[in-house]
Amino acid sequence: MGTTKNHIVSLGRIRISLPGTTLGYMMLVLRLALGVMLLQSGLGKLLDSSGWVATGYLEYAATGPFATTFASWSGPVVNNLVMWGEVLIGISLILGIGVRWASFWGAVMILLFYLSQLPPEHWWINDKLVYILVFITLITSRVGTVLGVDTYLVKYQNRYHFLKYVLG
């Protein structure tokens, strides 16, 4: 993410030196915002007293060439995948652990949301497409190493090669 230098943050008499770049910290804000958004959405579904289900959306709101496919997916498996996917991806982004892996699955989930309503109601570039682009940016930016748990796990990538697909 560019040349690393230490940023000095002053909190009264306390001075904290943080490694990283300005771009890295802007990406951190993006990672945290998306993580909080997904965590809130997932927890809202999990804690819904009436029992959240995707059935109405999948059977009646899905449009376009894939509408029948999405309607056939209606059921408890997809309900749990959406709820728990949002919660776990949100937690991963907030903690900065397995950011690349979580961002990949976040992009897949949002892509499915996007494909469920083709053609899009408000042009082709909409909020879902922007979220996909943000997830792709997180996959390629190694933002998990900016104030994230991935910082401490990166050193194991040479021993466990699969981690290069997970961490970031």
pTM: 0.83
Question: Which tokens belong to 66?
Answer: 């894939």
113: which residues sit within 8 A by CB, 6+ positions away? 128
| Number of domains within the chain | 1
> Would residue 157 count as lying in a domain?
yes
Alpha-carbon span 163 to 168, nearest angstrom: 9
> Would residue 12 count as lying in a domain?
no
CA distances from 166 to 33, 39, 129, 142, 150 (A): 20, 20, 23, 10, 9
Q: Are 138 and 30 in contact (CB under 8 A)?
A: yes
> Would residue 4 count as lying in a domain?
no
Which domain covers residue 26, as residue numbers? Answer: 22-165
* pLDDT in 10s for each residue of the chain, 168 residues: 445 566 565 556 666 556 567 778 888 999 999 999 999 999 999 998 788 888 888 887 888 888 888 888 888 888 899 999 999 999 999 999 999 999 999 999 999 988 888 887 778 888 889 999 999 999 998 888 888 898 888 889 889 988 888 887
